[in-house]
Amino acid sequence: MKQIDGGVCAAKGFKASGVFCGIRKNKTKKDLALIYSEVPATAAAVYTTNLVKGAPIDVTKRHIVDGIAQAVICNSGNANTCNADGIEIAEMECELLSKELGVKAEDVIVASTGVIGQPLCIDPIASGIPELVSSLSYEGSDLAAEAIMTTDLSKKQIAVEFEIGGKVCHIGGIAKGSGMIHPNLATMLVFITSDVKISKDLLQKAISSDVKESFNMMSVDGDTSTNDTVAVMCNGLAGNKEISSEGPEFDTFMKALNTVTVYLCRCVAGDGEGASKMLECKVNGAKTAEDAKIVAKSVICSSLVKAAMFGSDANWGRVLCAIGYSGADVDVMKVDVAFESKAGKVAVCKDGSGIAFSEEIAKKVLTEKEIDILVELNDGDGEAVAWGCDLTYDYVKINGDYRS
């Protein structure tokens, strides 16, 4: 398995595009994206568990209930959430794209991201769709990745190549997400494409299982978005025999999928609103895998831990505190903690108590852009990884005037 270029266009038969249509006031930012499969594809998705959901989620759920999709259209700058005509607008997007692209409206996945509670006018989308379709390209992933960004500072995309049944296969993805990141079943907006042939039931099982180990183990600010969606389309053009049961080929697909999702997780965590550092909490030695997940997520979500990492302060007591209130079954008198980065590693806690360490070395370790928080519970074989970022002054600045 190797990483390659191409993002959502790396898989055979996929094109993408991104344009500015006028939803945003800033004409330098693209605000409408399209991903298109030349043939109908097997589709699956997972969504936010927030009771307040964007209108596009209701429409997308109905459209892929049969496990088939051929296109994704997504706008940024407006979430189309809590609007009286939101579902109507989302359906109109699909109808307009259907006529221009020549696909069935019910085979379109629709998504929106941006400000909540602001009416979304169909006019700019309607005027932008012709250009969106005409600019479709096998090299268009970069444009689509840009067009779904809101407060993101960087585009997020990846693709990998691997083999199944002697056939060369590909899977790629793009993501957006910077704030309002604390997923449950899905996160932000993530669109994944593959040329693998796989049944709809196994594809749904694959993405539903994967998010528990990837996107659900990430947090930027503790807020679960109203529009979270992770959607996958697999068009089968790689030519492999359909994966219709679990086994080695399904395992290979799962590994490739997880490679893509974990990479995107790290990208989103590192690009958290106002963030200056990406944090990875690795937990080992838990009584169960579930206990390990609870601990890792608790540490990553701690505002005090995040603030300490921003200040390059080796305040390991905050890590212990987060472990203690996590709800996991932990013997705190067995816990070891260390911090690690490319500048080195420093142990700061042994058996639940502080140990002597160099503050100078610790500061050097924690000044790096990527920091690992290593937690050893010494009580079993459970392990987990979670991703997050530091908490800076800029997070408040960004969200203090988000609507403007």
Q: Looking at the annotation, which residues are catalytic?
A: 187
Residue 346's Cβ-side half-sphere holds a number of Cα atoms within 13 Å equal to 23
Cα–Cα distance between 132 and 3 in angstroms, integer?
28
35's CB contacts (< 8 A; 6+ apart) are 8, 14, 15, 16, 71, 72, 144, 191, 193, 233
Closest-CA residue to 346 (of 371, 365, 328, 324): 365
Cα–Cα distance between 39 and 239 in angstroms, integer?
13
Cα 91 to Cα 99, 231, 289, distances in angstroms: 13, 18, 41
Cα–Cα distance between 191 and 147 in angstroms, integer?
13
The residue to which tokens 């529009």 are assigned: 227
Cross-strand bridge partners of residue 47:
229
Is 80 within 8 Å of 89 (Cβ atoms)?
A: yes
Closest-CA residue to 8 (of 209, 143, 205): 143
Q: Is the backbone of residue 180 left (phi > 0), alpha (psi -120 to 50) or beta?
A: left
Element (H, E) at 294: helix 289-301
Continuous H helices in 271-358: 289-301, 303-310, 316-324
Cα–Cα distance between 206 and 215 in angstroms, integer?
13
Find the radius of gyration of the CA atoms of the chain. Answer: 22
